[in-house]
Structure 1
Amino acid sequence: MDWLIAILALSALVIIHEFGHYICARASGMHVHRFSVLGIGPVVLRLFTYKGTDFVISAIPFGGYVQIAGMEAEDPEAPAEPVAEGDGESPLFRDKPLWARLLAIFGGPLANYITAILIAVSVYAVAGINYPTGIKVEGFGAASPAQAAGIQQGDVLVSVDGESVQGFPQSTKLNDLTAPRRGRTVDIVVDRAGELLTLPVALADAPRALGVDLSFQSEYTAVPFGEALASGIAFPFKKTAEQGAALWAMITGERAGRVGGPVAIARAIKGSADRGVLDFLMFSAFISTLLGMFNLLPLPALDGGRLVFLFYELIARRPANQRAEEWVHAIGMIGLLGILVYATVGDVRGPKTVPWDETVQNYRSEMAKARRELDLTDGEAPTGGTPPAATPHPAPAEVP
């Protein structure tokens, strides 16, 4: 049942993204040929038609797309003479003013960010904000430097060389403190049954610097509605900044990570559902943010890549060559599909890591077992994981 919930949740977030494109295109007077609510590629099932738009399911069950009339230089589905809608204006994308085209492309990510805000505000207003309360030692690896220094199971980590380990995500905060100090001796303060102890620990010069299994503790704390509203609005932008920094660190080699695909994302959503409805909702808000964030990256075939061409038109005061743009997006689509295949194979055959899961989860004690299975210790959370695998964009005329 949890797997079904995970798949439905991910599909719903993709549909919301595509609906953002659809509603903004329609609001701008554009005709939409097709809305694939599930999948890309050839149509396998026509669900219904609404105001001239075919709502369909497509062959490759990843993501979805909205096909707007007039996005191709030669649109085979466009009428020879543009059919005016209501006010007599052309319904084709290319005939619309720049602001309308920008809105139609930006509508997908905007819908994801609005969804994340609505979920976060609702959870914060009803249940409170999830604050970190501590990092507990659950066990030790082989030849653990922490165990050798006298740290015991059940100890709660307080600080490293005088710097607090508290932060959210706590795993990232701890990693930021230990990674630069690998191979050195540091003073770690632990809380042992209410008593603060300072223990010198000789960190290993390796990823398992402390050699411990950890659980990340947190709890929801009630807050005034004003604070819930402000924090909920800030949620997707805060996560965008955090994950943008994590992605950059992975690109530059400062942090290890691997690309995760739709299987990893569904697994992460299932994990959040296992931890309860609040974790599930907040993780869904997080994934919605990632979908919007990734699609805004200035890469061919993504919304961000299309926005680059529109901003070029804004600055140069003339549109880019449409044929050239279509080729750029087509090549980009091939690259994204390659990443999708690579990530999916890695999800199935590789270690069961999840994309950025630890940024929003409740960090309950069962994480200790999961971290042992994943061989992730000392706060080294998995980074990477690319939502695009869940929302790859289709052919040049289609807006994912």
Structure 2
Amino acid sequence: MNVLSVALSVLETALVFVVMVSVLVAAHEYGHYIFARLFGMGAEEFCIGVGVRPLLTWGRRRYRLALSESERAALPMAEGALDAGEPPRELNEETRFTVRAWPIGGFVRIKGMVPQEDGSEVRVPGGFYSKAPWKRLVVLFGGPLFSVLAGVLILFFLYWAVGATRPAGTSIEGIVRGGPAQAAGLLPGDRLTAIDGQPVLEFYDVVSRVRDQAGRDLQVRYVRQGVERETRLQPKLAELPDAVMGSDHLPTGEMRRQAKIGAAFGLVHVALGPVGALAEAVSRPQQAVVGMIAIFERKVKVEDSVGGPIALATMTDAAVRQGILTLIEWAGILSISVGIFNLLPVLGVLDGGQMVTALIEMLRGGRRLSYKVQNAMAAVGFSMIVLIVIGVFFVDIKRLVMPSRPMPEFVPIEAPKR
């Protein structure tokens, strides 16, 4: 591959990555925007990307913002209303839709969203802090909600249109070198029929019979070239936790280390109706939550479960090479991950952290936290984000210079012995 081909490949991946991230950011920010407008908050700017100033203003939307009685009382009389002796009931507002230099995020600038030392943010008509804490909580939750919904919808339509991949039966397609299956003499092409006297008719049967039997000597019956045979093997506990699957082939919500036999089974593409596609798509947020909990419970290593821009770009490049369907699936999964990540209670920074503040103020009967406390929470949150960013970049760089755990090596397929 020459230099030009490499450059074009990198450019293609970069463009796809930028477009994909921009669309997912737009979905997230639209969640904030739509709820802010629903609750009578003014949105001054809807921005894709981050940077000092907008590179492009691609749209403007003018609207009239209705004011509550308390907001009208806090509003200085407009010139046109002085003679009437009362402040206006509506304000003329405008939202600018902009693009900034770095396509790694975005924001909706809501009126009065920056706390002031004198607490005047609560008196901004149509402002964020002029509204009840529960409304602010909903606006903050809107971003993660729309990210998850966007991801689920992407996956739903994908799975409904083209189906999904499922393990196919109990026929072995690959044997891991040095694994229990190789030690037991199993070969690719063998079809398992029973484990410890219990029949196995599908892949899930194999998983459920084996996953809690690490180190136990199990009797295995199988068919090779039409002849039924028997052997014994001892399943080995996997190094990393994995999602526990149910009989519907969807995760149950539990994640733990499970015993494996060191064999790969075939896959088949199955068509899904709307109900099956929805179940498959809805299972992905559940998997994301279970995975995140597993990280905090230290059931999985952080370096095996997180990635920064380099990892995201690498995975996007792999998806681009595998085709449009894989890329669409990756976009849906990434959108869900962004939504779940933003719910982390990182004080004063992520949506989840600001939701914690709104919840505290709800419990205080709507009274704002002091400016000093808000600044302290923001400082803690910013420090946490800096540590997370440094840690993620360290993991990315480590992956580049120190290859991760090697993939299982499969035994070459040979003609089965009679």
Q: TM-score, normalised by structure 2?
A: 0.66
User: Partner residue of 1:5?
Assistant: 16
Greater shift in the superposed pair: 238-247 or 47-56: 47-56
Letter in structure 2 aligned against 1:310: A
User: Partner residue of 1:336?
Assistant: 385
1:37 CA drift (Å): 1.0
Task: Work out whether 1:70 is the aligned partner of 2:93.
Answer: no
Structure 1 residues 153, 19: CA separation in 2 closer, same or farther (over 3 Å shift)? same
User: Partner residue of 1:42?
Assistant: 52
* Uncovered stretches (5+) of structure 2, i.e. residues with no partner: 1-11, 61-93, 241-258, 410-418
User: Partner residue of 2:406?
Assistant: 375
User: Partner residue of 1:392?
Assistant: none
Task: Work out whether 1:17 is the aligned partner of 2:28.
Answer: yes
Q: How far does the alpha carbon of each residue in 1:271-308 deviate from its partner, in whole angstroms, 9 at most, with x for none? A: 33433333332332222112112212333222122222
User: Partner residue of 1:145?
Assistant: 180
Distance in structure 2 (CA, Å) of the matches to 1:80 and 1:252: 39
Identity of aligned residues (%): 25
Distance in structure 2 (CA, Å) of the matches to 1:98 and 1:374: 47
Letter in structure 1 aligned against 2:144: P
Distance in structure 2 (CA, Å) of the matches to 1:186 and 1:271: 39
CA contact (8 A) 2:155 2:329 kept: yes
Letter in structure 1 aligned against 2:389: L
Structure 1 residues 81, 262: CA separation in 2 closer, same or farther (over 3 Å shift)? same
User: Partner residue of 1:308?
Assistant: 356
Q: Relative contact order, CA 8 A, sep 6+: which one is greater? A: 1
1:178-189 aligned at under 5 Å gives the runs 181-187=213-219
* Uncovered stretches (5+) of structure 1, i.e. residues with no partner: 83-89, 354-371, 379-400
Letter in structure 2 aligned against 1:317: G
Structure 1 residues 338, 65: CA separation in 2 closer, same or farther (over 3 Å shift)? farther
Distance in structure 2 (CA, Å) of the matches to 1:177 and 1:56: 54
User: Partner residue of 2:3?
Assistant: none
1:268-279 aligned at under 5 Å gives the runs 268-279=315-326
Distance in structure 2 (CA, Å) of the matches to 1:57 and 1:121: 31
Letter in structure 2 aligned against 1:132: P
Distance in structure 2 (CA, Å) of the matches to 1:16 and 1:96: 24
Distance in structure 1 (CA, Å) of the matches to 2:365 and 2:163: 49
1:220-231 aligned at under 5 Å gives the runs 220-223=270-273, 228=274, 230-231=275-276
Structure 1 residues 79, 251: CA separation in 2 closer, same or farther (over 3 Å shift)? closer
User: Partner residue of 1:217?
Assistant: 267
Letter in structure 1 aligned against 2:55: L
Letter in structure 1 aligned against 2:271: T
Distance in structure 2 (CA, Å) of the matches to 1:188 and 1:8: 51
Task: Work out whether 1:286 is the aligned partner of 2:338.
Answer: no
1:151 CA drift (Å): 1.9
User: Partner residue of 1:114?
Assistant: 149
1:95 CA drift (Å): 0.6
Distance in structure 2 (CA, Å) of the matches to 1:190 and 1:7: 50
1:222 CA drift (Å): 4.3
Aligned residues: CA RMSD: 4.0
CA contact (8 A) 1:113 1:292 kept: yes
1:108 CA drift (Å): 0.8
Structure 1 residues 322, 14: CA separation in 2 closer, same or farther (over 3 Å shift)? farther
1:251 CA drift (Å): 2.5
Q: Paired residues, what number?
A: 339
Distance in structure 2 (CA, Å) of the matches to 1:192 and 1:5: 47
User: Partner residue of 1:327?
Assistant: 376
Structure 1 residues 52, 128: CA separation in 2 closer, same or farther (over 3 Å shift)? closer
CA contact (8 A) 1:35 1:55 kept: yes
Greater shift in the superposed pair: 116-125 or 201-210: 201-210
Greater shift in the superposed pair: 212-221 or 263-272: 212-221
Task: Work out whether 1:246 is the aligned partner of 2:291.
Answer: yes
CA contact (8 A) 2:41 2:111 kept: yes
Greater shift in the superposed pair: 184-193 or 342-351: 184-193
1:130 CA drift (Å): 4.1
Greater shift in the superposed pair: 46-55 or 12-21: 46-55
1:106 CA drift (Å): 1.6
Q: TM-score, normalised by structure 1?
A: 0.69
Letter in structure 2 aligned against 1:202: Q
SS state of the match for residue 73, structure 1? coil
1:384-399 aligned at under 5 Å gives the runs none
Structure with greater Cα Rg: 2
Letter in structure 1 aligned against 2:296: I
